[in-house]
Structure 1
Amino acid sequence: MNPILLFDTFACRSSEVVRHRLLRPILIALLLGSVTFGLNSCATARGFGQDVETTGEKIEDAATR
């Protein structure tokens, strides 16, 4: 076997490992960010629903007077 070819194969494996080690924290950060965004949007939707409910109650009270 040619030692240069063995070295090239090792270099490719090494670069894949480095790429994987760099990609993993980025993917974890994106996942955590999307979960955080999702939780915040649920709270916002709940608050919006409460505002609409309060507005509807005020309209009903004004209509019954």
Structure 2
Amino acid sequence: MNPIFLSNSFVCRSSEVIRLRFRPVLIALCLGGVTLGLNSCATARGFGQDVEKTGNKIEEAASR
């Protein structure tokens, strides 16, 4: 492992290879996290609507 001079710091070539190999994995994890986050918002909204409907049904039954 010979260090090379790059912008005022020494970097090993092997660390550059590792960084390039894991970049697609990191991108996939980020995209997966965003996808799950967006889906959870829709799920929470749907859950809130279900709870609201259930509450309305309980109120109607109680008022009889």
Could you say whether these structures have the same fold, taking a TM-score greater than 0.5 normalized by the shorter chain as the test?
yes
Cα-to-partner distance string for 1:4-58 (whole Å, 9 max, x where unaligned): xxxx415x83322211111111111100001101111111111110000000000
Q: Looking at CA atoms only, which structure, 1 or 2, has the larger radius of gyration? A: 1
Determine what percentage of the aligned residue pairs are the same residue. Answer: 63
Deviating runs (4+, > 2 A) in structure 1?
Answer: none
Higher strand share: 2
Higher helix share: 1
Structure 2 portions without partners, runs of 5+:
4-10
The structure whose RCO (Cα within 8 Å, separation 6+) is larger is: 2
Tell me the TM-score normalized by structure 1: 0.77
Aligned residues: 57
CA RMSD of aligned residues (A): 1.5
